[in-house]
Amino acid sequence: MLEGSFSLTDHNGHAVTEASYRGSFMLVYFGFTHCRKVCPRSLACMTAALDTLGETRRMVVPLYITVDPERDTPERMKAVVEANFPRFTGLTGSREAIDSAKASFRVFSRKGLDLEDAEGYAMPHTAFAYLLGPDGKYLTHFMDTVDDLQMANRLRILLTETERVA
């Protein structure tokens, strides 16, 4: 079973865990700020899906967890999310903390050669968005091939059903 636990630092430098967001749905995405294609596309899709939800989007806290903590400092995460994806909270931490979060979500990533990157590497990774309920339990995930309207429709249904049961 997917645990969905983490102990990281947000882009404002505050220590946070999954418990910091209890009471809200969490839409969690793992990526890295130097990503040129998949991460920006996925984050834009999630942003558009949340926008489609209107006021219901306030029930969801979107989190962007780095898989590249060596480059993605809190300052770097803050600059990227505030400039491009302001609905998101960027999360980073030590390599050990990131590896623990990845294991909790069953996320794979590895450093790979990328000659187009100034530092010579990229971080291929699992490109799912995970939805956790207000109790922190896993509800579903979205593959990176889903479009914003499909995601918004599934989110609307899940948010409504989960709130009705609670």
The whole-number average pLDDT for the span 42-63 is: 96
Pick the CATH number of 7-12+24-160 from 3.40.30.10, 3.10.20.30, 1.10.490.10, 3.40.50.720: 3.40.30.10
The whole-number average pLDDT for the span 101-123 is: 82
Token output for 58: 């306030």
Q: Whole-number mean pLDDT of the chain?
A: 92
pLDDT band at 122 (very low <50, low <70, confident <90, very high): confident
Q: How far apart are CA 89 and CA 86, in angstroms?
A: 8
Cβ(146)–Cβ(140) below 8 Å: no
Give 92-108 pLDDT, tens digit per residue. 999 999 999 999 999 99
Q: How far apart are CA 49 and CA 43, in angstroms?
A: 10
Q: Can you say which residues are annotated as belonging to the binding site for Cu cation? A: 35, 39, 125
Task: Inform me whether the pLDDT recorded for 166 exceeds 60.
Answer: no
Q: Can you say which residues are annotated as belonging to the binding site? A: 35, 39, 125
Q: How far is CA 72 from CA 1, 45, 77, 122, 123, in A?
A: 28, 21, 6, 12, 12
